[in-house]
Structure 1
């Protein structure tokens, strides 16, 4: 029985997100009361939309990735930690001997939190469990304690589901995708710095008046502000900085223009498939859990195609390389993950409501944190990869490996060190920080929102009476 379950689980994981997502969504649709035909069609439409997004992201990576790498090599930065990409980290994660225990622990935590009303997110994005799992695997490697390893991934899961809950309004309001949350650590992690930085920028006189949106860019730049033209210019510039010929640079520019134009169409297809599931989930939750909403937890890939996100990411790519060169103490060379910066910036764009000025400032701050955390944890990650028989090809004279994933992410980095540090000190600090955040988002913020809404109602009533 156990072998059959494991075989089915391994097959589902091995099939990849484009197969796994339609199957899981169809099952969820049936659970929420949809008929088989409608549930399957929704799942398949969702899968097609996701496949379309993935194809375009892969297309962007295959074109922009080599250009970004060429730009790194052309500039001539010499650093001893190489960003080998999230794919290498995923391979390390799924090859760990304790991965099965961690995956089931994460799944169990999600179900328990749903039943106890500690979260409203039903995370069906099992493929991206690896972002939570790698933290526990690295903790286990350092401490040799399997319980600490599982515990670290459990804490990652609990905090990720709550961040997904708290950030869900951003997804609904800015990206226009209702009933969905995004418990993808590689995207949500930036919020740990983005939230306080956005709060701070809103309170600096003068700075808080600057609001440059994509529409503003298009308005002031005219012809050159058009999304297609911006893609052409930014893509061509990256090609030229990478030493490409004029022809190759223009080809890259056209490719980036194509991505900017086509991805939003794929996103609309994704939303079309999601709507029946979302409506069924809300109806089901109203019957089973009165006054409660359930969110379907999906891959952040569904929002990285937003035009504001892609445009901001294209600007940040060369700036990230510049940061790596000038930051004192940084050892990490951005390389393979340069093409997936849209994932790291998506929530920032939603948080600032598309304010380009804030996006760049906060984006540079969160990237700085990634570079430093990646530099610090690279020796451990390199040893871990070797210990489980994975030899990652390292080029350019780098001695260690890292990425813009794993414990380079602020969320993962903090939990990792809470579990490998002196526990009597780090554990109380971690618990206190989680408790403060929990209290703010669960108690203070809802009360503030309610007071604000009541004041607005009173103002409207007073104006009508007057």
Structure 2
């Protein structure tokens, strides 16, 4: 086990820009791609992930301090420190059982592919830690390790089925064939579904409202650069940055929003040859079978709707932190809530009006989820020595934890909470309804016509 752990630590230490392309290289060779072509696809994918990570980091470094300043201007002081997903991942990997979830993830995926229960092959091994976090949370609450593993297995199944149901919508949004997203943040669509179905019945929300449609209505104000400038300027002024600081933030956000679509084209350039090879491979060996390659969410980061929604919801996130009774978290490191933005994008096809309304309504769930997580993550960090110092009366958490309702409902259900059992049943029912809804829905480019 120690040797296996050392190997996995080494591979993880390479970073996602090496780890994921390495998997893609192996898949390409197995699918019959020429070595040179497979290598170029892998290299280009590494460049795409690196470029996207750089711009996302650039955006975070620009927006983060402004959001923190906006939060601090309120004078609020809450006991749970938001350390973001990177710290949550580092703490989770310190759990002695964490590395087992590589085998769990691969094993469940293999069985489901063989039995034709999914079309998705999850290549996003980088985010295995999310399943380990789920298992630890359930184990901490229930004291039952088996319950933790069962819940993590359920999460793996849900991720694969989400990959199946969203694939054609992702292909329409990105232009990349036979590729999908298996990151658990897409599960936010389950929570948002009832609201979206309600909006289906309201004429005001049944008009095209993605950035492409807005170009016909508001002209240059819908351009990524101009939208980024306006949003950055507004956030800077709200954060008391002054004229100079606000203008600089405006240019930084405009720069990021302008670069996202350019970098996203590299994903298409990299993954299209692999998709063709995989398609031919499956046709030769399995009649009427196709396989989707499941990847991390940044393949969707080229859609400006994600960023417009996420940044505009920053003041909402902070506002809820101030007024919600029982909340203990001030969102800082994870002030940009990607889950609502990505889940909303896939569910609505990029309808900004729907995405923003749904974000405003559901945002409190993430703060209460982070409050629930705080003693759990703090306990694991202290027991493993991952975090050097957590002061008395203080705790650490992750403000935009993905799938908080799933994790908490299943943890409490295994703990014998009848309300949670009912909630878990409702969640699975909504998931089933989402599957039917997305399989029936038109792809984004043909919706709202």
Q: TM-score by structure 1 length?
A: 0.87
**Partner deviation per Cα, 1:130-166 (whole Å, 9 max, x = no partner):** 1221010122233333322222211111112112211
Aligned ranges 1:70-85 → 2 under 5 Å: 70-85=69-84
In the TM superposition, what are the counterparts of 1:119-130 in structure 2 within 5 Å? Answer: 119-130=118-129
- Asked if 1:173 is matched to 2:172, the reply is yes
Structure-1 residue corresponding to 2:286: 289
Structure 1 residue matching 2:99: 3-state secondary structure: helix
TM-superposed CA distance for 1:4, in Å, is 5.5
Alpha-carbon offset, residue 30 of structure 1: 0.8
Give the equivalent residue in structure 1 for 2:395: 400
Matches of 1:87 and 1:398 in 2, distance apart? 23
The answer for the alignment partner of 2:446 in structure 1 is none
CA–CA separation in structure 2 for the residues paired with 1:439 and 1:74: 43
Aligned partner (choices 375, 380, 403) of residue 379 of structure 1: 375
* Structure 1 range deviating more: 224-233 or 111-120: 224-233
Instruction: Give the equivalent residue in structure 2 for 1:411.
Output: 406
Match of 1:315 among 291, 312, 317: 312
- Deviation per residue, 1:277-302 (Å, 9 max, x gap): 11111111222222122111101011
In structure 2, the residue matched to 1:277 is 274
User: Any conservation in 2 of the 1:235–1:253 contact (CA below 8 Å)?
Assistant: yes
Deviation (angstroms), 1:407: 6.6
Indicate which of 355, 365, 368 corresponds to 2:364. 368
| Contact 2:377–2:396 under 8 Å retained in 1 | yes
Shift in CA distance, 144/92, structure 1 to aligned 2, threshold 3 Å: same
After superposition, the Cα gap between the structure-2 partners of 1:9 and 1:354, relative to the gap in structure 1 and judged at 3 Å, is same
What does residue range 322-337 of structure 1 map to in structure 2 within 5 Å?
322-337=319-334
In structure 1, stretches of 5+ residues that fail to align are 453-466
Change (3 A) 1:207 1:279: same
**Which of the numbers 183, 187, 207 marks the counterpart of 1:189?**
187
Post-superposition shift, 1:265?
A: 0.8
Larger Rg: 1
Q: 1:349 aligns with which of 345, 348, 363?
A: 345
For residue 428 of structure 1, report the CA deviation from its aligned partner: 8.2
Q: Determine if contact 2:79/2:329 at 8 Å carries over to the other structure.
A: yes
Match of 2:246 in 1: 249
In the TM superposition, what is the alpha-carbon distance from 1:328 to its structure 2 partner? 3.6
Q: Count how many residue pairs are aligned between Structure 1 and Structure 2.
A: 442
In structure 2, how many angstroms separate the alpha carbons of the residues matched to 1:392 and 1:288? Answer: 53
Partners of 1:435 and 1:116 in 2: CA distance: 23
Q: RMSD of the alignment, in Å?
A: 2.7
**3-state SS in 2 of match to 1:297:** strand
Distance 1:35 1:418, change over 3 A: farther
Q: Deviations over 1:245-270 (max 9, x none)?
A: 32222111111111111111111011
Map 1:81-100 to 2 at 5 A: 81-100=80-99
| Cα shift at 1:238 | 1.5
The DSSP-based 3-state class of the residue aligned with 2:377 is helix
**The residue matched to 2:241 in structure 1 has which SS?**
coil
The match for 1:239 among 211, 236, 239 is 236
Aligned equivalents of 1:430, 1:408: Cα separation in 2: 12
Alpha-carbon separation, structure 2, partners of 1:435 and 1:349? 22
Report the CA distance between 1:381 and its aligned residue.
Answer: 2.4
SS in 1 for 2:313: helix
- SS of the aligned residue for 1:75 comes to coil
Structure 2 equivalent of residue 144 of structure 1: 143
- Which residue in 2 is equivalent to 1:22? 21
Q: The residue matched to 2:62 in structure 1 has which SS?
A: helix
Q: Distance in 2 between matches of 1:428 and 1:77?
A: 35
- What CA distance in whole angstroms lies between the structure 1 residues aligned with 2:6 and 2:372? 37
- Structure-1 separation of matches of 2:339 and 2:402: 16
Deviates more, 1:216-225 or 1:233-242: 216-225
Please tell me whether the aligned partners of residues 18 and 47 of structure 1 are also in contact (alpha carbons under 8 angstroms): yes
For the 8 Å contact 1:238–1:249, the answer to whether it is kept is yes
Q: Which runs of 5 or more structure 2 residues have no equivalent in the other structure?
A: 443-449
Q: Residues of 1 paired with 2:131 and 2:244: CA distance?
A: 42
Question: CA 1:10/1:377 → structure 2, altered by over 3 Å: closer, same or farther?
Answer: closer
Q: Distance in 2 between matches of 1:188 and 1:280?
A: 27
Match of 2:56 in 1: 57
Q: Is the 8 A contact 2:190 2:434 kept in 1?
A: no
| Structure 1 residue matching 2:293: 3-state secondary structure | strand
Counterparts in 2 of 1:436 and 1:309: CA distance versus 1, 3 Å: closer
Report the Cα distance in structure 2 between the residues aligned to 1:335 and 1:190, rounded to whole angstroms. 21
Please report how far the alpha carbon of residue 47 of structure 1 lies from its aligned counterpart in structure 2 after TM superposition: 0.9
Q: Once the 2 structures are TM-superposed, how far is the Cα of residue 213 of structure 1 from its aligned partner?
A: 3.1
The residue number in structure 2 matching 1:457 is: none
Give 1:330 deviation, angstroms.
2.8
CA distance in 1, matches of 2:430, 2:327: 31
Task: Find the residue that maps to 2:287 and give its secondary structure.
Answer: coil
The question of whether the paired residues in 2 share the 8 Å contact of 1:330 and 1:375 is answered with: yes
Q: Tell me: CA distance 1:401–1:380, structure 2 relative to 1, closer, same or farther (3 Å).
A: same
